[in-house]
Amino acid sequence: MTRALTAEVRRLLTVRSTGIFAALLIGCCVGPIVLMGIVYDPAYRGPIDAGDLGKCVSIFHVLAIVFAGTHTATEINAGSTALSFLTQKSRWASLAAQAAVQWAFLACAYVVGIGLALVAATFYPDGLAMSPRGWAYLAAYLLVVLLWATMATALAVLTRSVAVSVAAPITWMLLIEQLASMVPMLEAITPWLPFNASHMLLAQALGEAPAGMSVWPPAVALLVPALGLAGAGLCAHVRRDSA
């Protein structure tokens, strides 16, 4: 497993798109905060809080899906994954290492981006206001992002397509679930859709969820598709004759 991790780290660092994605992921966290300070309007007074940072993370969320799907599908199509089958004893190790390295990359970009955003927020005219729930919200958002990135990785393994692995999760989040929420007949299942469940979990962390709402239903609604796709992707990765 150590060799697989080392190989994936080297592979990630040698790809030119890695630096581009790092800049985009970090920039989407700090950029909007800097822009808010530049175009500050006294008519909209109020300090920057976790909710404002969450709007930045929503952009990070989409870019994380693009990164995970693109990187995985591109490596498969380039033959890098097939080569790992010849050099590693266990096939599952190559996929697990790739997912772990992607998670580490996204987590590092998130921490750096949010850290810079917090620094930028201290220069905002109305300052920065962070509560313990705000920190919990940012931590929960990172977990949500990583789970969606895992789904994109799994789709890339299953389909070997950059387009499908990127477009399917984003279309589901931004179009299908939004349309489903507008259909009265689907009200019963809407809370069990993964993107809506993600928002419910974030509302729980921020303390804005309805009173009496349990954290378990949305957690299950998000974890089931993530683990299901991850399991299907792992099975396909292990059983196929070639990556």
For residues 203 and 189, what is the distance between their CA atoms, to the nearest angstrom?
Answer: 19
pLDDT greater than 70 at residue 242? no
User: pLDDT of 72-108, one tens digit each?
Assistant: 998 888 766 655 555 566 777 778 888 999 999 999 9
Phi then psi for 75, rounded to 5 degrees?
Answer: -65, -40
pLDDT value for 81: 64
Count of CB atoms situated within 10 Å of the CB of 194: 21
User: pLDDT of 133-182, one tens digit each?
Assistant: 999 999 999 999 999 999 999 999 999 999 999 999 999 999 999 999 88
pLDDT value for 215: 86
Q: Which two tokens stand for residue 24?
A: 């985009």
Taking all residues of the chain, what is their mean pLDDT, rounded to a whole number? 89
8 A C-beta contact, residue 69 and residue 151:
no
- Number of structural domains (the chain) is 1
pLDDT value for 6: 81
Compute the CA torsion angle 159, 72, 18, 119 (nearest 10 deg): 90
Is residue 89 helix, strand or coil?
coil
Closest among 49, 39, 217, 239 to 135, alpha carbons compared = 49
For residues 149 and 157, what is the distance between their CA atoms, to the nearest angstrom?
Answer: 13
pLDDT value for 100: 93
User: pLDDT of 190-208, one tens digit each?
Assistant: 889 999 999 999 999 998 8
Closest among 44, 26, 23 to 124, alpha carbons compared = 44
8 A C-beta contact, residue 117 and residue 48:
no
8 A C-beta contact, residue 138 and residue 114:
yes
pLDDT value for 84: 59
Q: pTM for the whole thing?
A: 0.91
- Highest mean pLDDT: which range of 2-6, 38-42, 158-162, 180-184: 158-162
DSSP string across 127-175 = -B---HHHHHHHHHHHHHHHHHHHHHHHHHHHH--HHHHHHHHHHIIII
Q: Which domain holds residue 152?
A: 2-239
Percent of the chain with pLDDT over 90: 62
